[in-house]
Chains A and B, each alone.
Chain A
Amino acid sequence: MKRENDEINRLFRTSLSDAEMPVRLDFWNELEKDIPIAIRRRKMIVFRFAAAASVLLVFAGTFAAFMNFLPKNEIADAFTKAAVSCGAEGTLSQDAVKIDFPPIETATYAGSLGKKTSGNHCAVSSAENEEDAVSVTISMSFSFSQSGYTSNQSNRNIFTAGQNGKDIENEETDSQNRLLTTEVNKSRRSSINGFVAGNIPFAGKQNQSVRTEHKLPLSAGVTIRKELTRRFSLETGLVYTKLNTELTAGEYDADHYRQDQTLHYLGIPLKAGVSVYEKKRVELYASAGSMIEKCISGHIKTKHYEQGENISYEKSLLRPNPLQLSLLLSAGIQYALTDRFSIYAEPGLNYYFDDGSPVETVRKDKPLQFNLLCGIRMTY
């Protein structure tokens, strides 16, 4: 039986291996016309990808150069300053600090400093409710590195320590944040997006005395976008954000405290999108939505320095309980490179509601933030 089976194979193989069939008469003419079109299309695709990559590289390079050469202190000085007098006295005991301050109305988070500091504030004499100048730097980058900027104000103290009659400058600097996003969006019907982001805060209320340095908030997330109709879509997913703040009170060459606070948030966004204009390769759209976040973990490290020397160190867990709610509004422009790949940019605004916790974050200081999102979309 096997021989007969192989016979069938042999029969067809020998007979049909070199078989020929007549081709349609006009076939070559059509093919000849289509070849240059196909070559041109292929070159355009390569060109568009190269152009997109170059644009992104230029932005990344510009941003990196800007961050590298930025005279942060000078820029900080150029903005509004308000001298705040903070009458405080502190006594140092063995491993804790007891600080007495004149009472203040604003809430404070008590750090773990010997568990003795609480409700300590500086009286704000003239700087209260002063709004900072708005400074926005727009840059786009796909860099994953964190770059610090000083947004010197703190209206709630995590801790305070100081000397009598010390003037602490209240400074404002611009912040160079940028929103980094890489978004992979699959399908007109549904899409999966991955992104990394950072925000540029707008003016926030200033109060006082301690130098606060909010580091660039970094976010990363995965979202799913579903097109409900040709124009309307919904998007949700999971977003992780890391907030980092450094606070310093006192002079570097004298007694001072430094606290390093890191918070990790996990959030669920919900966005609705509307396509506004669509022609050929370009699409304009608008989105609005909100996000609920919960701090899942965090810690605060406190170092006490005396005469420039570190004399104590403490680390404790920190996890503000309340949920963080935010609203977002953005406009988007998308350019299709091929049938599958598009690049897009989404400038937008985020507003972070006060979560009611006493913990100091960039969102409390500057609830209104501008972000600029750049991404690559893949459709199927």
Chain B
Amino acid sequence: MENETELIKGCRAGDNSARKQLYTLYSKRMLAVCYRYIGDLDAAHDVLHDGFIKIFTNFSFRSESSLGTWITRVMVTQALDYLRKQKRINRIIVHEDQIPEIPDVSDEGDYNRIPQDCLMEFVAELPIGCRTVFNLYVFEGKSHKEIGDLLRIKEHSSTSQLHRAKLLLTKRIKEYMNHEERK
């Protein structure tokens, strides 16, 4: 896109209006990304702030991917750094024999109708370990091996964390659907 090229050029040159334009285009989406990882709105704003500072002080975009993908990657990296400082993600251990099978949700009704902000909250409520793995697996498309390398956990742990996340999310969906039905 021609506009995007101009935008990139402007940001590289340190043009403030280009920066503001970039911010306007991406800030809401990136806040959602940060919130999905962090689970707290204030902290998500902090991560968003630091992410944009990083982008604007060193605009290292090289057109290897789309601009949106690159910005998302910067934000995800910033979010992971934040999480690492807050808690040791790799300390969370799940004993596999304690995780039951994930129940079937298909007979709960049209769960596709669940509002977006509710689904976002379900993710935000997840414990830090399985939330991080879930985000990296589902939204960043990372493999368990890649997640293991990134978070310095075993591949096996990544698998069980994802399983746990799905279990908890399914449970939340069921609760929500039951609650809605009663209404």
Say whether A and B bind each other.
yes
| Residues of chain A whose beta carbon lies under 8 Å from any beta carbon of chain B | 1, 4-5, 7-9, 11-13, 15-24, 27-28, 30-32, 34-35, 38-39, 42
If A19-B120, A35-B56 touch, whether A8 touches B169 (CB-CB below 8 Å) is: yes
Q: Which of B26-34, B82-90, B150-158 contacts A (4 or more CB under 8 A)?
A: B26-34
Q: Is the CB of B49 within 8 A of A16?
A: no
Q: Which of B2-10, B73-81, B97-105, B175-183 contacts A (4 or more CB under 8 A)?
A: B97-105
Contact of A21 among B32, B49, B52, B111 (CB under 8 A): B32
Q: Is the CB of A13 within 8 A of B139?
A: yes
Chain B nearest CB, measured from A3 CB (Å): 9
Among B107-128, those with CB < 8 Å from A are: 111-112, 114, 116, 119-120, 123
Q: Is the CB of B116 within 8 A of A15?
A: yes
Q: Is the CB of B102 within 8 A of A1?
A: yes
Q: Can you list 16 A-B pairs, Cβ within 8 angstroms, ordered by A?
A: A1-B102, A4-B106, A5-B102, A9-B138, A12-B138, A15-B116, A16-B32, A16-B119, A20-B32, A21-B31, A22-B28, A23-B28, A24-B45, A31-B23, A32-B16, A35-B19
Chain A nearest CB, measured from B147 CB (Å): 14
Q: Is the CB of B102 within 8 A of A4?
A: yes
B52 closest partner in A (C-beta): A31
Measured between beta carbons, the chain B residues less than 8 angstroms from A34 are 49, 53
Chain A nearest CB, measured from B54 CB (Å): 8
Measured between beta carbons, the chain B residues less than 8 angstroms from A24 are 45
If A16-B120, A31-B53 touch, whether A42 touches B106 (CB-CB below 8 Å) is: no
Chain A nearest CB, measured from B117 CB (Å): 8
Interface of A is mostly: helix
Measured between beta carbons, the chain A residues less than 8 angstroms from B16 are 32
| Residues of chain B whose beta carbon lies under 8 Å from any beta carbon of chain A | 14, 16, 19-20, 23, 27-29, 31-32, 35-36, 45, 48-49, 52-53, 56-58, 101-102, 104-106, 111-112, 114, 116, 119-120, 123, 134, 137-139, 166, 169-170
Chain A nearest CB, measured from B161 CB (Å): 14
CA distance A120 to B175 in the complex (A): 101
CA distance A18 to B52 in the complex (A): 19
Measured between beta carbons, the chain B residues less than 8 angstroms from A42 are 57-58
Q: Is the CB of B31 within 8 A of A8?
A: no
Q: Is the CB of B23 within 8 A of A11?
A: no
Measured between beta carbons, the chain A residues less than 8 angstroms from B137 are 9
Contact of A23 among B19, B27, B57, B123 (CB under 8 A): B27
Measured between beta carbons, the chain A residues less than 8 angstroms from B169 are 8, 12
How many pairs of residues, A versus B, come closer than 8 Å at their CB atoms? 92
Q: Is the CB of A16 within 8 A of B36?
A: yes
Chain A nearest CB, measured from B95 CB (Å): 20
Chain B nearest CB, measured from A280 CB (Å): 23
Contact of B48 among A9, A19, A23 (CB under 8 A): A23
CA distance A34 to B51 in the complex (A): 12
Contact of A15 among B45, B56, B101, B119 (CB under 8 A): B119
If A17-B139, A19-B116 touch, whether A27 touches B45 (CB-CB below 8 Å) is: yes
Measured between beta carbons, the chain B residues less than 8 angstroms from A13 are 138-139
Q: Is the CB of B139 within 8 A of A16?
A: yes
Q: Is the CB of B101 within 8 A of A28?
A: no
A39 closest partner in B (C-beta): B57
CA distance A24 to B45 in the complex (A): 8
B55 closest partner in A (C-beta): A35
Complex A-B, nearest 4 residue pairs according to Cβ-Cβ distance, in ascending order: A20-B28, A19-B32, A21-B32, A21-B31
A4 closest partner in B (C-beta): B104
Chain A nearest CB, measured from B88 CB (Å): 17
Q: Is the CB of B139 within 8 A of A18?
A: no
If A27-B49, A31-B52 touch, whether A12 touches B119 (CB-CB below 8 Å) is: yes
CA distance A296 to B46 in the complex (A): 57
Measured between beta carbons, the chain B residues less than 8 angstroms from A4 are 102, 104-106
Given A9-B166, A42-B58, 17 more pairs with CB closer than 8 A:
A5-B166, A7-B105, A7-B106, A8-B105, A8-B166, A12-B138, A19-B32, A19-B116, A21-B28, A22-B31, A23-B31, A23-B45, A28-B20, A28-B23, A30-B49, A35-B56, A42-B57
CA distance A299 to B114 in the complex (A): 84
Measured between beta carbons, the chain A residues less than 8 angstroms from B119 are 11-12, 15-16
Contact of B101 among A1, A12, A20, A39 (CB under 8 A): A1
